[in-house]
Structure 1
Amino acid sequence: MNIPETYDYLIRARRDLWTALKAVPDEVLSRPVLDGPRFHCVKDLILHIPAVEDSWIHEDLLADSPIWESVAVMQGAEDGPFYAAFHLDALLDYWCQVEASTQDYLNRLTPTELAREVVVNGSKGEERFTVDGLLWHVLIHEMRHTAQIAVLLRQAGIKPPFLDLLNYLPVTQK
């Protein structure tokens, strides 16, 4: 699989996750179930996934303004335990905007762009990564957090959707 194919899988899995989330009572999505400074509830994770994608792609890869700056409900929002009061649809609308922008970027990917070096100033200082490596980071980041959301749903007594790649692969014929 390559990056666009993997992103296509994530889009299809998202639709199943979003459908499941829309059936979950808001109290469950907003309940503080995680300790820590950044994430307390499922909604915090629902916002974190597209915010990370938005940040890496717009700020780091494209050197552009992130989408959240143009989304009214996101004004003043931070990456932390602040989203319990947000309506799920507002979070998913933002995610849809990030997705559309990412798809546009991925449709323009070239081998030269994938090989391009990006300088990131992080906790370890200045680091260099390829666009390819950073895109894989974004994709895997989402997979890890959607698995976390699935576990939190299960702990709340709600059956999560079957999001394994196997569920989305085409079946080959003999």
Structure 2
Amino acid sequence: MVLHHMASHRRNRPSADDLKVEGRILLDRFGSIDAKDLKILEALQANARVPLSELGRSVGLSQPAISERVKRLEEAGIIEGYGARINPRALGLGLMALVRLRTSHEHIKTCLKRFSEIPHIIEVHRVTGDDCFVLKVLVPAPEDLETIVDRIAGFGAVTTSLVLRSEPVRPIGKDLVRRKAERS
């Protein structure tokens, strides 16, 4: 597989919203990411606070070059933001559950509104298959989970799974991007 350097096309660039909606198409139109871009993405996922000078040294680029690449990845919508990894247990949220809800189509919008009103629901995934939603929930204790289940049970069948342990997530990087390119 050959990875091409993304050309710098500053004129007539679409807005950030356009890039997010059509990320794959526009990435193909403006070029593709190369091996150094993938190293940058992997490094930033491991530590988003790494100084640009250190990041540049780790991938063999000067500070101005690394700054330009990071900016380009941000403008392309590949890097959507930066954040901190929070330990829920340290905040007293020691119980994680995946809650599945099967509901009817007419309740979708109402469900989404209800989910947004429950702060312990930290992720909402609309899915295919038997269920309509998979929710990631963090609570201090089982009775708090029960309260959440009771608040959404009126919309349909609810099933829950307690998370015993979560393994580290693999960062999006060269292995995943390479597989995507090989399928194309």
- TM interval, shorter chain, is under 0.3
- From the two aligned structures, give the one with the greater strand fraction: 2
Structure of larger gyration radius: 2
- TM-score normalised per structure 1: 0.28
- TM-score normalised per structure 2: 0.27
- From the two aligned structures, give the one with the greater helix fraction: 1
